[in-house]
Amino acid sequence: MIVHKFGGTSVGSAERFRSVADIIQRHYQENPDRGLIVVVSAMSGVTNDLVRGARLAAEGQDSTCREIKARLLQRHLDVVENLLQQRPGRLEVAGLIEDRLHDLERLYRSIAVLGELTVRGSDTVASFGETLSSHILAALLQEHGLRAQALSSSELLVTDDCFGQANPLLERTRERLQQWVRPLVEGGVIPVITGFVGATAQGITTTLGRGGSDYSAAIIGAALRAEEVWIWSDVDGILTADPNIVPQARVLGELSYGEAANLAYYGADVLHPKSIRPVIANGIPLRILNSFNPDHPGTLIVEKPHPERERLPAILSTTGLSMIVLGSQDDSWALAQAARALQRLNEANLDVLMFSQSLSEHNLNLIVREQDQAHSLKVLRREFDHPLYQLEARERVATISIVGVPGWNETGAVAHAFAAVGRQGTRVIAVAQAATEDNVSFCIPEEQLADTVRFLHRELGVEA
């Protein structure tokens, strides 16, 4: 059995859905008895829109919130219209989309009445995108003559109640998957399961954290002891740099579980960092593949990579970040305030990607995603509501991490990276270095990112 997971860009448009259906059909026909499970993300950008709508609802911004819902409705209906040729299937899926988005509107209204968005409410809202995409894909596969069935993971993936970052309860999840999914697969049906979403034992919807569909696929693969888990995204695997910045970037052909987890942790966003955990225990290989270039072999992640494989460092970059500075005008700023700030952001389910605390400057620098900036400022303003405190969003920043695999760093490449950043004249805002000395991360102004990444890629000899 192979678990195939398709991310948001792989199902970002009618045309993309078509390519995914072709990939699934080809794999199914090549080996119909092997067993195939599909895990799917929401269409790209949809989860962001859903959550933004919920935040606006809590602020009473009714009309913007209705616009978001209307746009989501239109986008999904357009895809269905364009994609599904057979009228009954098309009408059924269109009806389902309308119903779900009607539910969404009701949910937004109740959030508006409460005037507050809880993490639990946010999870319910965020789960809608995967429901829609899974039904669209299942209907399309049916048109291709395959026996596909959309399944909601809120019935399958049992989690604790850590809303926003729920943890799977593996035994109960395994029982449900064995009971409901295995017989389908063995009967030749292709289950199309919603990624990212789960539910508590009481049935309350949870999510596994942003980007969590990879994690869902790994959990499902481990629970059913799949042969392999294949993560389909929009690049050729885990690369030595972002190919949009460095066209010569190279694919890391084989990695160990530990190396891949490290790369994912530092921002190789083709793989959610938690996805390695479930597959390690059962030694299940993971592949990272490109749905835009399905014949490329991609990256293979296994327990023991081939000893002769090439060892290259990767330069991982994250853009679209914003730096928020919080501090006090006098010298009263202390670690306790910093701790409070981080805690409030965490409670509001806002990720802080990097922070630096300078006691001598009486402030805390926080790096958050641009789309979370307004909400982060609001949460902090509420907590630090005194003229003594200063709070502002400073600039758009990016992070660069240089991550090595064991065996590449004999030449002191981290020191080399520091020197290269200096030579390139990059303004470094913050640095974080791992104790192992084969990883280092820099926070820099976003406009210097591309030049710095290209320079480092050359300087570290990755293009050799």
Query: What part of residues 192-251 is at the interface with Mg ion (CB under 5 A)?
Result: 211
Question: Quick one: which of 198, 211, 221, 404 contacts ligand ASP (CB under 6 A)?
Answer: 211
Give least dist CB 408 to ligand ASP, A. Answer: 30
Would you state the structure tokens that stand for residue 184, as one six-digit string? 């389908």
Task: Determine, following the binding rule CB under 5 A, whether residue 7 of this chain makes contact with Mg ion.
Answer: yes
Cα Dmax for the chain: 70
CB 215 within 8 Å of CB 233:
no
Task: Determine, following the binding rule CB under 6 A, whether residue 165 of this chain makes contact with ligand ASP.
Answer: no
- Residue of 459, 227, 210, 254 lying closest to 350 (CA atoms): 210
CA dist 95 and 77 (Å) reads 9
CA dist 296 and 298 (Å) reads 6
Those residues whose C-beta lies under 8 Å from the C-beta of residue 355, and which sit 6 or more positions away, are: 338, 342, 364, 365, 366, 367
Choose the stretch contacting Mg ion; rule: CB under 5 A; options: 5-13, 18-26, 51-59, 89-97. 5-13
Query: What part of residues 25-44 is at the interface with ligand ASP (CB under 6 A)?
Result: 41-42
Give least dist CB 448 to ligand ASP, A. Answer: 28
Nearer to ligand ASP, 212 or 273 (CB): 212
Give least dist CB 211 to Mg ion, A. Answer: 4
Query: What part of residues 115-134 is at the interface with ligand ASP (CB under 6 A)?
Result: 129
Give the other-Cβ count within 10 Å of 38's Cβ: 28
Backbone Cα Rg of the chain = 23
User: Using CB distances below 5 to 8 A depending on partner kind, what does residue 262 bind out of ligand ASP, Mg ion, none?
Assistant: none
User: Using CB distances below 5 to 8 A depending on partner kind, what does residue 42 bind out of ligand ASP, Mg ion, none?
Assistant: ligand ASP
- Residue of 449, 188, 225, 140 lying closest to 315 (CA atoms): 449
Question: Quick one: which of 35, 168, 195, 327 contacts ligand ASP (CB under 6 A)?
Answer: 195
- Residue of 349, 315, 229 lying closest to 277 (CA atoms): 229
User: Applying CB under 5 A, what is the total number of residues that bind Mg ion?
Assistant: 2
- Residue of 235, 267, 233 lying closest to 252 (CA atoms): 235
Task: Determine, following the binding rule CB under 6 A, whether residue 210 of this chain makes contact with ligand ASP.
Answer: yes
Question: Quick one: which of 1, 3, 6, 7 contacts ligand ASP (CB under 6 A)?
Answer: 7
Task: Determine, following the binding rule CB under 6 A, whether residue 256 of this chain makes contact with ligand ASP.
Answer: no
Binding site for ligand ASP (CB under 6 A): 7-8, 41-42, 47, 129, 195-196, 210-213
